[in-house]
Structure 1
Amino acid sequence: MFMRDGRSRGAGLCVLVVLTLMLMLAGKPESGIAADADTNGVQQTVAESLEALWTGRTFSPELQQRQQAMKTLLQNGAVTRADLVSMMETAFLPMLDRAVTSRYILKAMARDFDAVFAPHMTWEDGREMMWRVSTSVVKKGDQVLIKIGTLAPPGTPWLSVPETITIPEIEKMTEGRVTVKIYGGGVMGEDTDILRKMDIGQLDGCGCTSLGVLAASPETSVFLVPGLFKSYDEVDYVYEKFRKRLDRAFEEKGYILAALIDTGFFHIFSKNRIAGLEDVKKQKMLTWFGIMETTLYNELGINPTPVAVPEVVSALSTGLANTNLAPAAWMLGMQAYQYANYYLTPALMYSPAAIVVSTKTKDRIQKQVGVSDNYAQNFQEIIVSEFNLIEGEWRRQIRVYDAKSLKAFETKCGMKAMTFSAEDQKLIEQAGIAVREKLAGKAYPADLLNEILAALEEFRKSHP
């Protein structure tokens, strides 16, 4: 009797449990079950979309359809912005070990990211998430420090732009896990000294003047060909058109071209009155940046004295030299303007500047943080992209500073602008052509020069 009653009670309990489960399932709204399925589908869509964006792949038609469905769920509130952020963070971290991006892809991601996720999540949100998640593997107190040396003097745009824009943003987005330290004013030596320190791992990057740019990638000397550029618009056009070729040239030497900016257009400055080329030939001219400058001087009959960049101001102040070729912004930043009373216009040549990062930076990050090769490569590309991001604003501020410097020399310092005669300008033009022909195939590839000349001709036809 006892056993029979126990079996009855056990059977009744089982029935009760089954009925309860059936009631629970029956009581759950179909919309709730569908919502779970939708959420899982959105997570997959987010992950696939993010990886396609990260690697530069085109969205498949099927993925585009799912992206539209995701947007509908976001718009009607079935999936919240908080859900989207969480899904993206979940997908992003493991993706860094699996898929590799590049600075070119990251440059285009602003547009492409917003097309998929805005207005619920914009590229600025995505960029912040990208930094936060990718650096979450960096332990507190084990900061990743990117060290850059440069000749650029403090207080000039070459330093102030990254120090006021890029570095604070990186520190904020990474909660201090990553920062950049720029050693300015030549405390790390000349550009060539800085590049050597990069090669042995003491520094990660160089804010290069033309001297460093040419040392890191000799073929960029083509940009210094006298008379090549007539305006900054032409400079920007050529930079954009030939950027990938330039990047490859730097990488072949072990460097990444993180930002391509300006040293500026070079004028002749002198302590003594110089009305033209004949007056310049009588001065104690100095030279500091290499073969292009000295070849031009040889063509013009000028005999310069070579001086290391950190010694230029000293040479001018002591009288070792009284005339030099430089951009106005550099003259102001180095306080060299106080040794000049005259300058000649138009400018003789243009010179680039650049931020280059060692390709070995990735290896150091990998060792310090303890991540995969792909992860470290992504980390490096993210850092490089931040400098690339401000390239346009960086150039703009340098150019404004340069123009203001020339004006200040005249209005506040009494410096007088002298103009080359038409005859002198013709001689300078002929000398520039001779320089580019002599150095083609030696200082830079002849085909690169010809392609740039063709591009400039094309640009000038469409911009008369």
Structure 2
Amino acid sequence: MSFKRWLSLSMAAMFLFFFAFCASAADYTIKVGTIQPESHPDCVLMREVFQKYVEENSGGRIKVELYPNAQMGGDREMAEAVQLGILQMALPVTSITASFEKSFNVVELPYLFTTRESAFEALDGELGKELDKRLLKTGMMNLGYFENGFRHITNNKRPIYSPEDLKGLKIRTMEVPPHIAFFKELGANPTPMSFGELYTALQQGTVDGQENPIVLIHDSRFYEVQKYCSLTGHVFSVVHILTNKSFIDNLPSELQEVVKEGARRFVARHREVMPQEEEELIVELQNKGMKINDLTPEQKKPFVEAAHAIYEQFKGEIGEDIIALAEKVAK
């Protein structure tokens, strides 16, 4: 064997040993699951902020592994995996968490929040703390609230300026009771359907439209199969860092704080990025041919009235006390 060949093999062996040693040096692994693609702010900031901070500040004792693109399943499956301790962390919308703790459906009440500022003030404050406390009994805990953005309506028939414009339209919604009730109140025909089937359903005209935040409308390429986008902003889509309580509790105290601080930094940066991202994507959607219309406060008024008309019917399911608290702090 030549000296160069021997040297090359020796160097390769040293690198393999080094990386194997680094991998084994981690005492704990945090697997993070999300349905979002790698280019989405959730994934980008999870890598650039959370993963970097936790791995560096734990001295290599914690390794963070990110699984985007629903590799670990949908939001529901990942939340179940977190509850069972199979997955250490997931980034689901709060409507999924409501499957485990019904009081989280309070966040899904239309027009509860009308600005990001009021939403995060409530979620960082009394409302969020109460929801977090109730979540603990499920074996899970929340490490911070962030967003998908306000939900808006797209369709192929006409721009939406009033509830009358929605009459008879078949609108795909999530299987979230307050969302379904709201669209029924507006006179639309809400049609729950899995997100994976939605593009084809819009393309084939199975449904006339759908409602989602701008980032999802863009990333899902709905501009290819939808003509109108109306900025109704009817629900603020909240996401949070869901983790297994036992996993966090069993970390040494100094590592618990590293993980929690990493989560705080991720949330803070995410909240800075999303408003600008949304503004840029609205322009991009227009450039791709979508007709986008905003609504004045006066035009939104009948939508808000229709929303508040359904609050009463959810007091039993969500809890009268948590709805009263939410309405108080959301002002």
Query: What TM-score comes out, normalization by structure 2 length?
Result: 0.84
How far, CA to CA, are the matches of 2:110 and 2:247 in structure 1? 35
| Corresponding position: 1:171 with 2:55 | yes
- Return the match for 2:120 from 223, 236, 242: 236
| Corresponding position: 1:263 with 2:180 | no
1:406 alignment partner in structure 2 = 282
Cα RMSD of the aligned pairs, angstroms, is 2.5
Deviations 1:267-292 (A, max 9, x none): 10113323443343343311124111
| Structure 2 CA distance for partners of 1:315 and 1:381, relative to 1, 3 Å | farther
1:446 alignment partner in structure 2 = 320
Deviations 1:419-444 (A, max 9, x none): 558886343222111121211231x2
1:104 alignment partner in structure 2 = none
Q: How many residues align?
A: 308
1:433 alignment partner in structure 2 = 308
Does structure 1 conserve the Cα–Cα contact (< 8 Å) formed by 2:215 and 2:278?
Answer: yes
SS in 1 for 2:242: strand
Q: In proportion to residue count, which structure has more strand? A: 2
How far, CA to CA, are the matches of 2:137 and 2:40 in structure 1? 31
| Corresponding position: 1:141 with 2:24 | yes
| The 10-residue stretch of structure 1 (324-333 or 163-172) with the greater mean CA deviation from structure 2 | 163-172
Superposed displacement of residue 139, structure 1: 8.8
1:302 alignment partner in structure 2 = 188
Q: In proportion to residue count, which structure has more helix? A: 1
Superposed displacement of residue 324, structure 1: 0.5
How far, CA to CA, are the matches of 1:232 and 1:422 in structure 2? 16
User: Which letter maps to 1:253?
Assistant: T
- Return the match for 1:183 from 67, 85, 93: 67
| Structure 2 CA distance for partners of 1:185 and 1:317, relative to 1, 3 Å | farther
Mapping 1:323-338, distance limit 5 Å = 323-338=209-224
| Corresponding position: 1:344 with 2:230 | yes
How far, CA to CA, are the matches of 1:233 and 1:435 in structure 2? 24
User: Which letter maps to 1:146?
Assistant: I
| Corresponding position: 1:385 with 2:261 | yes
| Structure 2 CA distance for partners of 1:264 and 1:418, relative to 1, 3 Å | same
| Structure 2 CA distance for partners of 1:390 and 1:286, relative to 1, 3 Å | same
- Return the match for 1:215 from 99, 119, 141: 99
| Structure 2 CA distance for partners of 1:382 and 1:322, relative to 1, 3 Å | same
- Return the match for 2:271 from 395, 419, 433: 395
Higher relative contact order structure (alpha carbons within 8 Å, sequence separation ≥ 6): 2
| Corresponding position: 1:358 with 2:232 | no
How far, CA to CA, are the matches of 1:378 and 1:233 in structure 2? 32
| Corresponding position: 1:455 with 2:329 | yes
1:417 alignment partner in structure 2 = 292
Superposed displacement of residue 140, structure 1: 6.3
SS in 1 for 2:141: strand
Deviations 1:333-390 (A, max 9, x none): 2333322221113322212111100113247xx5xxxxxxxx5465344323311233
Superposed displacement of residue 167, structure 1: 0.8
Superposed displacement of residue 314, structure 1: 3.5
- Return the match for 1:287 from 167, 173, 197: 173
Does structure 2 conserve the Cα–Cα contact (< 8 Å) formed by 1:186 and 1:310?
Answer: no
2:17 alignment partner in structure 1 = none
Larger Cα-atom Rg: 1
Query: What TM-score comes out, normalization by structure 1 length?
Result: 0.61
Deviations 1:61-93 (A, max 9, x none): xxxxxxxxxxxxxxxxxxxxxxxxxxxxxxxxx
Superposed displacement of residue 187, structure 1: 2.2
Structure 1: gaps (5+ residues): 1-137, 367-374, 458-464
